[in-house]
Amino acid sequence: MSRLVVVSNRVGDPRKPSAGGLAVAVGETLASAGGLWFGWSGQVVDERAPGEGELHQQRVGRFTLATVDLSRQDHDSYYLGYSNQALWPAFHYRLDLADFERAHFEGYKRVNRMFAAKLASLLRPDDVIWVHDYHLIPLAAELRMLGCTQRIGFFLHIPLPPPPILAAIPGHEGLMRWFFAYDVVGVQTQMDLEHFVRFIKDEARARPLGGDRYQAYERTLCARSFPIGIDVEEFQHLARSREALETYATLKEEYAKRRLLVGVDRLDYSKGLPQRFRAFRELLANYPENRMSATLIQIASPTRENVHAYEDIRHELEGLSGEINGNYGELDWMPVRYIHRTWARRRLAGLYRNARVALVTPLRDGMNLVAKEFIAVQDAEDPGVLVLSRFAGAAEQLREALLVNPYDVETTAQVIQRALRMPLAERRERHAALYERVRREDVHAWRRAFLAALNGEQNADADQEAAVGHA
Ligand code: ADP
């Protein structure tokens, strides 16, 4: 059997409790079958020259973690610059926030070239290579230039915008060529897939070969959607941990007379947090029965604090929560609890279980795993209600949630009111349908489907459709 090589910007030790979804998903395969996990070490070394980095290798059970340090300049241009200030906003439809600085683009290419050179020295001829996310789009092309002929797949964890937005990215022609160095390109949703296919047909004149295969630049790739899921058992296990139970008990006591709404996000402009706070303000203004009762706990973990757009959103949220608490709060009721910190995932599980309503209302999101985590730990006999943005990738699967347009603050408030008043029978019915899907389409199903495609197994559904289409 081929060896699996996973490449992602950040690598994680799957044995650590803080490991998170990707680490659990790929870690399990690597731990059982052996393999290699390659990526940035997380270290920035000031004295290094750009394009240079030391390779570290560490044995973790049956597999090897191989990591490379980055020089300061590479980190600032490849990671902070091009990945997070150009690709992240552009792929989240926010060209207004994108900064396409040439030097950052050069750094992006330079680091991918350096990663490819380090990785190539570790590869075996029959490896299969699975590359993750937008930091590493050029990696396969760089590996091909070094003579690597292994099967290489790419999975994009963030949204893929419509062609006119992609076409605004300087150098997008190169982006397309980079994609065609892969054998498989996976995205989160059907909509992302449609965007990708339109883009490669219009801009690269890609020729459909039937099924999910396309040809351009004398190469063939398979493009498919693979909606990522969570590890349901792992998260339910966390929900039974001491910290989760303690969090649950404390909140239950403290908010015995209140109805809790929760939001859990990284503090990112894609998450629609100001719109969410405004919708909550509308709820209190338009439905006074919620005063002295509805309480929004918003956990917003800090990320990318050194990027300007993040500072702006932090100030905006502080202003909005202060205003709502000032206008509506009472001595013994604070409507918004805004916590700008990272919480342990175990405690999150306890928080989700207390909530009557979860607000997952991004303006644009690749998938959104918080929505799935919330569903996974509800009490099936008395479940909370998920209010979900139609612009989250998860909305394609989680149709029984209450779907909202987060830009429409007034209607969102109405839907939150509906969620708060939803009869038990309807809550149970919706939850049962959502839970079934979260369980079936979990992270293990996602990983199996992607690896099957990467190993060249045919997609029976797509092939059948193609046969019908060609008949
Ligand atoms: P993104 O990948 O854009 O951050 P997702 O919702 O897909 O969004 O995944 C976020 C993951 O990070 C989830 O597993 C969630 O539990 C965790 N997470 C999000 N916000 C926080 C927070 N404030 N504290 C701790 N963990 C968080």
> What per-residue confidence (pLDDT) applies to 306?
67
Any idea which residue has 């603050």 for tokens? Answer: 409
Pocket test for ligand 1, best of 238, 265, 347 (most atoms within 8 A of CB): 265
> What is 67-78 written as a DSSP string?
EEEEEHHHIIII
pLDDT at 76 (0 to 100): 95
d(C-alpha 293, C-alpha 330), whole Å: 11
Split at pLDDT 50, 70, 90, the class of 15 is: low
List all residues whose CB is within 6 A of at least one atom of ligand 1: 20-21, 264-266, 299-301, 342-343, 345, 348, 367-370, 373
Residue of the nearest CA to atom 20 in ligand 1? 265
Instruction: Find the Cα–Cα–Cα–Cα dihedral 43, 116, 26, 439, rounded to 10°.
Output: 110
Q: Ligand 1 centre from 340 Cα, in Å?
A: 13
Strands 213-216 and 207-210: what pairing?
A: antiparallel
DSSP per position, 201-252: HHHH-PEEEETTEEEETTEEEEEEE------HHHHHHHHTSHHHHHHHHHHH
Judged against a pLDDT cut of 60, whether residue 181 lies above it is answered with yes
Beta bridge partners of 370: none
User: By the 8 A CB rule, do 25 and 369 touch?
Assistant: no
Residue owning the nearest CA to atom 8 of ligand 1 = 368
> Relative to the CA of 301, which ligand 1 atom is closest?
23
Could you tell me the two tokens for 132? 């993750």
Residues 420, 402 contacting (CB under 8 angstroms): no
Output the CA 350–ligand 1 centroid distance in Å.
15
| Residues 93, 219, 206: CA angle, nearest 5 degrees | 50
Looking at the whole model, is its pTM more than 0.85?
Answer: yes
Quote the CA–CA distance of 111 and 116 in Å, as a whole number: 8
Band (pLDDT 50/70/90 cuts) for residue 466 is very low
Q: How far apart are the CA of 394 and the centre of ligand 1, in A?
A: 14
Q: Which of 157, 192, 212, 265 does the annotation list as catalytic?
A: 157
Cα 300 to ligand 1 centroid, rounded to whole Å: 9
Give residues with Cβ within 8 angstroms of 149, minimum separation 6. 125
- The secondary structure element, H or E, covering residue 4 is strand 4-10
Atom of ligand 1 nearest to the CA of 339: 23
CA of 201 to the centre of ligand 1 (A): 34
Residue nearest to atom 19 of ligand 1 (CA): 265
23 HSE (CA, 13 A, CB side): 16
* Model confidence band, residue 47 (pLDDT cutoffs 50, 70, 90): confident
Give residue-wise pLDDT tens across range 94-123: 999 999 999 999 999 999 999 999 999 999
Report pLDDT digits (tens) over 120-138: 999 999 999 999 999 999 9
Strand ranges, E, within 257-351: 259-266, 294-301, 336-339
What are φ and ψ of residue 63, in 5° steps?
-125, 170
Q: Single out the residue of 63, 228, 50 nearest to residue 132, CA to CA.
A: 228
In terms of phi and psi (left: phi > 0; alpha: psi -120 to 50; beta: otherwise), the region of 11 is: beta
As a residue count, the chain comes to 471
How many angstroms is it from 266 CA to the middle of ligand 1? Answer: 6
Helix, strand, or coil here: 332?
Answer: coil
**What pLDDT is recorded for position 370?**
96
Cα 409 from Cα 415, distance rounded (Å): 10
pLDDT at 262 over 60: yes
Please, which residues have CB within 8 angstroms of residue 57's CB and are 6 or more apart in sequence?
64, 65, 66
Task: Write the burial class of residue 466 (CB in 10 Å: 0-12 exposed, 13-18 middle, 19+ buried).
Answer: middle
Per-residue tokens: 360: 């997952």
Over residues 387-414, the pLDDT tens digits come to 999 999 999 999 999 999 999 999 999 9
425 or 21: which carries more pLDDT confidence? 425
CA distance 400 to 309: 33
pLDDT in tens, 192-245: 999 999 999 999 999 999 999 999 999 999 999 999 999 999 899 999 999 999
* Mean pLDDT value across the chain: 93
Give, for ligand 1, the residue of 276, 345, 397 to mutate: max count of ligand atoms closer than 8 Å to Cβ. 345
Give residue 425 CA to ligand 1 midpoint distance, Å.
30
pLDDT at 461 (0 to 100)? 54
Residues 336/324, Cβ–Cβ less than 8 Å:
yes
pLDDT band at 48 (very low <50, low <70, confident <90, very high): confident
pLDDT of 260 over the 60 cut = yes
Nearest atom within ligand 1 for CA of residue 367: 7
Find the mean pLDDT for residues 423-428.
Answer: 98
Q: Exactly one of 192, 212, 365, 442 is catalytic; which is it?
A: 365
Taking phi over 0 as left and psi of -120 to 50 as alpha, with beta for the rest, 367 belongs to alpha
- Rounded percentage of the chain residues whose pLDDT exceeds 70: 94
Strands (DSSP E) contained in 72-164 are: 128-132, 151-155
Element (H, E) at 31: helix 21-33
Of ligand 1's listed atoms, the one at least distance from the Cα of 341 is: 23
Give 457's contacts (C-beta < 8 A, 6+ positions apart): none
Closest CA relative to residue 123, chosen from 140, 101, 135, 110: 140
Q: Which of 236, 266, 388 to mutate to test ligand 1, by most ligand atoms within 8 A of the CB atom? A: 266
To test the ligand 1 pocket, which listed residue (134, 348, 364, 386) has its Cβ within 8 A of the most ligand atoms?
Answer: 348
In this predicted model, what pLDDT tens digit does every residue of 344-402 receive, in sequence order? 989 999 999 999 999 999 999 999 999 999 999 999 999 999 999 999 999 999 999 99
- What separation in Å is there between the alpha carbon of 134 and the centre of ligand 1? 18
Q: Which residue has the higher pLDDT, 153 or 465?
A: 153
Distance CA 346, CA 111 (A): 35
- For the question of residue 157 being annotated catalytic, the response is yes
Count the Cβ atoms, other than its own, within 10 Å of residue 194: 15
**How large is the average pLDDT for residues 313-323?**
95
Residue 462, pLDDT above cutoff 70: no
- 119-128, 324-333, 427-436, 455-464: range with lowest mean pLDDT: 455-464
Say what the pLDDT of residue 315 is: 93
